Amino acid sequence: MNSMYIVANWKMNGDQIFNSHLITTIEKNSVINDASHMIICPSMPYLQQINTQKPSYMILGAQNISQYDNGAYTGEISAPMYSSVGVNHIVIGHSERREYFAESDALLAEKVNAVLANNSTPIFCCGEPLAIREAETQNAFVENQLINSLFHLSSEQLLKVVIAYEPIWAIGTGKTASSAQAQEIHAFIRSVLAIKYGADIADQISILYGGSVKAANAVELFSQPDVDGGLVGGASLIATEFTAIINALQ
């Protein structure tokens, strides 16, 4: 069985007062408080703040990581460093990292390795830009991302990876993939994993949907058989929206 997750990707937003209010309000209104389904990824300076304030059922996550463990890499943060402040879930290969920071599939494979070597969980993002979707070649595009950054892993390693499918044309645009479009490509991703690793392994991988998830579409998206939760950007900064998204897991 795979697990359902909601990942809040706060991106480069928030400050101490805003964060504190957001966490308190989510905690007050969320009906899910007995299991670890909620991963909060604040900006790095606020990891300690959230770690101290969050209830135990919220998991602390990070938005990016270095492929190295330590050394002369100014401005970078490693998997062991994150672990030391309570962060064991790390988003890798978000489309904004791929696009604005030129992160390649090969680099992302190294980052996945660094996270796994530290016994942490990579949340690996994949997804196509609009031109690829319009050309109807999204399946091949996403398959290549998986092959290039994940398919060197053993079955045992892959089982520790969470995948987030995020169509770039739906991120921060207000456009969401329809639940049918999401289900179709999630099922495709699972089939690609099944061909390489077997159906038994593929069925255990959580595949999250990201791209303008909001309260109004969460129930329908999460009710698709191959959609195992969501990676939420903009709506994760609005307490009422995010709580409704969390509660949609019920």
Taking CB under 6 A as the rule, does residue 14 contact ligand PGA?
no
DSSP 3-state of 71: coil
The residues that bridge with 218 in the sheet, in sequence order, are none
Q: How far is CA 121 from the centre of its chain?
A: 10
Quote the least distance from Cβ 185 to ligand PGA, whole Å: 16
Looking at 37, 94, 96, 128, which residue is catalytic?
A: 94
Cα–Cα dist 246/230, whole Å: 9
| Contact flags string 142-181 toward ligand PGA, x per CB under 6 A | ------------------------x----xx---------
Tokens standing for residue 59: 């998991």
Given 50, 232, 239, 245, the residue binding ligand PGA (CB under 6 A)? 232
> In terms of CB distance, is 197 or 233 closer to ligand PGA?
233
Quote the least distance from Cβ 175 to ligand PGA, whole Å: 9
Cα–Cα dist 30/55, whole Å: 12
- Residue 186 is among the residues annotated as catalytic for this protein: no
> In terms of CB distance, is 42 or 234 closer to ligand PGA?
234
Quote the least distance from Cβ 69 to ligand PGA, whole Å: 26
Burial class (CB in 10 A: 0-12, 13-18, 19+), 168: buried
DSSP track, 151-191: TTS-HHHHTT-EEEE--GGGSSSS----HHHHHHHHHHHHH
Taking CB under 6 A as the rule, does residue 231 contact ligand PGA?
yes
Quote the least distance from Cβ 166 to ligand PGA, whole Å: 6
Cα–Cα dist 64/163, whole Å: 15
Alpha-carbon dihedral of residues 169, 170, 173, 174, nearest 10 degrees?
150
Taking CB under 6 A as the rule, does residue 218 contact ligand PGA?
no
Q: Which amino acid is at 234?
A: G
Taking CB under 6 A as the rule, does residue 213 contact ligand PGA?
yes
Give the pairing type, strands 229-232 and 58-62.
Answer: unpaired
Task: Name the one range near ligand PGA by CB under 6 A: 35-43, 113-121, 215-223, 231-239.
Answer: 231-239
The secondary element (H helix, E strand) that includes residue 62 is strand 58-62
> In terms of CB distance, is 14 or 234 closer to ligand PGA?
234
- Residue 156 is among the residues annotated as catalytic for this protein: no
Given 132, 234, 245, 249, the residue binding ligand PGA (CB under 6 A)? 234
Quote the least distance from Cβ 63 to ligand PGA, whole Å: 9
Taking CB under 6 A as the rule, does residue 207 contact ligand PGA?
no
Residue with the closest Cβ to ligand PGA? 233
- Give the number of C-alpha atoms closer than 13 A to the C-alpha of residue 131, restricted to the C-beta side: 0
The contact set with ligand PGA (CB under 6 A) reads 9, 166, 171-172, 210-213, 231-235
Catalytic residues: 94, 166
